[in-house]
Structure 1
């Protein structure tokens, strides 16, 4: 009986840890390279008609981004809204050119070598 209760307890703890991981961790940002860029232009608007007849709007961007070492790369990504001009973004890149997520950051949060390229 003790072994059974221990197994149930361990399974409960593992299940709780799994639920926590699924709700709190952003898997799009794990094992991704960080690049920094500034939004300098409005995105190109795209409208997609969904099966239920509603229209979804997205905006695509193609901008130069810089990593912490000062190396630049052209990245293409989409957003669900037109991003604020002059905003600085930290983008998470997987597979060398696939943007999986982004966050708006302040200029001071950007590494020095990347700051020099963005000025």
Structure 2
């Protein structure tokens, strides 16, 4: 009987650990290529009306970005707000040109070869 309780307890712990992992892992950033860029222009605003009647805005950017080797690639991506001018971003890219996520980084967090291109 103790083996049954031990087995059920172990399965419960594994279930909770799996649930916690699913809640904390951002699958939009998992196994993606990284590109770095600097925001140098205002986003192009696209407005649309939601079912509730509220107006929502999307800001589109198309800027040159650089991978860890310093190779340039122009990427188009959107944001829900107008991004800060001169901010450095790390883009998470899938299939060569689909930006799935981004986050702001400091200049010293960017790989050296990409830094050289962004100066």
RMSD of the TM alignment (CA)? Answer: 1.1
**In the TM superposition, what is the alpha-carbon distance from 1:24 to its structure 2 partner?**
1.6
Name the structure 1 match of 2:9: 9
Structure 1 range deviating more: 35-44 or 53-62: 53-62
For normalisation by structure 1, the TM-score amounts to: 0.94
Structure 1 runs of 4+ with >6 Å offset: none
- Distance apart, 1:28 and its partner CA: 0.8
Superposed displacement of residue 117, structure 1: 0.7
Q: How many Å apart are 1:97 and its aligned residue?
A: 0.8
Which consecutive unaligned segments of at least 5 residues does structure 2 have? none
The equivalent of 1:29 in structure 2 is 29
Q: How many residues align?
A: 119
- d(CA) in 2 for partners of 1:102, 1:25: 15
Structure 1 residues 18-58: Cα deviation after superposition (integer angstroms, max 9, x where no partner): 22112221111110111000000000111121111111111
